[in-house]
Structures are given as C-alpha cells and as structure tokens.
C-alpha cells in the first residue's frame, strides 16, 4: 500500500490520494477519510468528494490556508481505519448492442470475441460501486473482467445517451443523464440512477454491489415507461 499523499488542485481544492489503482481496500479508506474529515468540521473545508482512490477536498483559501488544511487532512488519512461499506446488491437490467450499445461489436472484435461472448463476460461479475461522480448519479464500478479492459477513446464523444452501460480502461459504469464520454458503449439500462423528483433522488451509493441482467430490446419500452414514472426498475437481490 502506498502512503497517502497530497495533490494540489489549485488554491480552492486539494486531494488526498491513497493509490492509483481500482482496489476495494483503497476505496474503503477513502470513504473512512471522508467520514472522519466531515466529522472534524475543519473551518475552511467546504465540501468533500470521495472517489475510487482519493478524496477531493474543496476549501475556501480566504478562510484557511489550503496547505495547512491539506497537512491536517494527510495526518488524518494516515490514521483512519477502512469503513465496512454497506452491502446492497442490485440487479440492473441492460439491453446490449445495436442502437443501445453502438460499440459492442467493435469492442468484441478488438478482443477476438463474438458480441454474445462479450455480453457474457460483461454481465458475469458482481461489481462494486466505488463512487458516484462525473454526472449526477453516474456510478463507477470496479470488478470488470480484465480480459475485456479497453483503453478509452482518444477523443471523447460530445454526447452519449442517458443510462449508458460502458467500459473505459479497467473501469465499468452505469451512466445517468446524457453526457459526453470517452468510454465504450456496450448497452443501455432504463434505470434512472438520478431523478430529481423521485425519493430517493440518487439510487446507488459507493459500497453497493451491482449485477447486470441482459434483457431483450423488446422489453425496453415497458421498462423505460416504468422507470420514467419513478419505479427504480433495478431490484435489490440477496447477495
């Protein structure tokens, strides 16, 4: 395990980085530091953002010196014990390929797989939700079968659809709203991970487990209608 270190993100933020990899233990330490830092209520700390392997801390440099705050946070980072994350397991329906996942065939070919084999490899693992970021409700997953890991596109696409199921590098994701992306689009889910007028507004949380259930394109309309009406569509299943 690497020693945690400070990354400078301008004068209004810094990050405490535990490592550079996707690792459930690193992520558990990030969530622990997040909880500890917020409990400490240090003046000048505005907002924290837990990610896979680091904690981004937004600060107000007019209230407290960011270098001093970062040094304090680093001290805390060295001492916190990893949190046992809550373990809910979700089953998320996905329509793969075609217009729902325009990169499925290309990515299958790159790995010398048939599209069906790629679907099986993508939907087999139990993923862990490491963070919600990028866009509201966009959930980053660890646990991708490393034999289908694929570097991101050199040039991100300006628009990808809401609910896109994608892979980028060694990561996988459930997208929420329409957004730009440099990841590869394998399928789409009707699940709304973020819905401003639903309670809960955000469906998935870091620490949750996610499984994907391939469903035929013919079921899309019905599932999408239910999701639009506020039905989570994703189910919590026994782990």
State the number of binding residues for another protein (CB under 8 A): 61
115 vs 232, beta carbon nearer another protein:
232
Instruction: Give the integer Cα–Cα distance in Å for 14 and 59.
Output: 8
Note whether 90 binds another protein by CB under 8 A.
no
Instruction: Give the integer Cα–Cα distance in Å for 239 and 236.
Output: 9
145 vs 215, beta carbon nearer another protein:
145
Note whether 42 binds another protein by CB under 8 A.
no
Note whether 141 binds another protein by CB under 8 A.
no
Binding mask 94-133 for another protein (x = CB under 8 A): -------------------------------------xxx
- Angle, vertex CA 128, rays to CA 233 and CA 228, nearest 5: 20
21 vs 117, beta carbon nearer another protein:
21
Task: Report whether 173 contacts 187 (CB < 8 A).
Answer: no
**Minimum distance, C-beta of residue 217 to another protein, in the bound complex (Å):** 26
Q: Report how far apart, in Å, the C-alpha atoms of 113 and of each of 121, 150, 188 are.
A: 10, 13, 20
CB atoms within 10 A of CB 2: 11
18 vs 96, beta carbon nearer another protein:
18
Q: Report how far apart, in Å, the C-alpha atoms of 99 and of each of 71, 115, 188 are.
A: 49, 14, 9
Task: Report whether 6 contacts 14 (CB < 8 A).
Answer: yes
Binding mask 48-67 for another protein (x = CB under 8 A): xxxxxxxxx-x--xx--xxx
For residues 209, 154, 55 and 16, what is the CA-based torsion angle, rounded to 10 degrees? 140
Token digits of residue 163? 């609910």
Task: Report whether 190 contacts 231 (CB < 8 A).
Answer: no
Q: Which of residues 180-199 bind another protein (CB under 8 A)?
A: 180, 182, 194, 196
**Minimum distance, C-beta of residue 43 to another protein, in the bound complex (Å):** 15
DSSP state of 147: G
Note whether 91 binds another protein by CB under 8 A.
no
- Provide the binding-site residues for another protein, judged by CB under 8 A: 7-15, 17, 20-22, 34, 46-56, 58, 61-62, 65-67, 131-138, 140, 151-156, 158, 168-171, 176-180, 182, 194, 196, 201-202
């Amino acid at each position: 395990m690497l020693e945690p270190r400070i990354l400078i993100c301008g004068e209004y933020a810094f990050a405490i980085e535990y490592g550079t990899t996707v690792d459930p233990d690193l992520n558990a330490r990030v969530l622990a530091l997040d909880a500890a830092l917020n409990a400490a209520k240090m003046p000048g700390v505005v907002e924290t953002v837990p990610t896979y392997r680091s904690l981004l801390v937004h600060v107000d440099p007019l209230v407290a010196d960011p270098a001093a705050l970062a040094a304090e946070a680093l001290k805390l980072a060295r001492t916190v014990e990893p949190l046992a994350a809550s373990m809910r397991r979700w089953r998320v329906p996905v329509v793969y390929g075609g217009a729902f996942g325009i990169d499925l065939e290309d990515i299958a070919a790159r790995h010398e797989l048939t599209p069906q084999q790629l679907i099986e490899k993508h939907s087999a693992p139990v993923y862990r939700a490491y963070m919600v970021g990028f866009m509201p409700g966009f959930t980053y997953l660890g646990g991708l079968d490393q034999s289908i890991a694929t570097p991101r596109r050199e040039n991100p696409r300006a628009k990808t659809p809401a609910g896109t199921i994608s892979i980028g590098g060694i990561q996988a994701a459930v997208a929420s709203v329409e957004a730009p992306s440099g990841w590869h689009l394998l399928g789409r889910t009707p699940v709304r991970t973020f819905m401003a007028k639903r309670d809960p507004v955000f469906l998935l949380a870091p620490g949750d487990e996610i499984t994907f259930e391939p469903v035929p394109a013919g079921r899309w309309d019905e599932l999408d209608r239910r999701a639009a009406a506020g039905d989570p569509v994703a189910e919590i299943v026994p782990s």
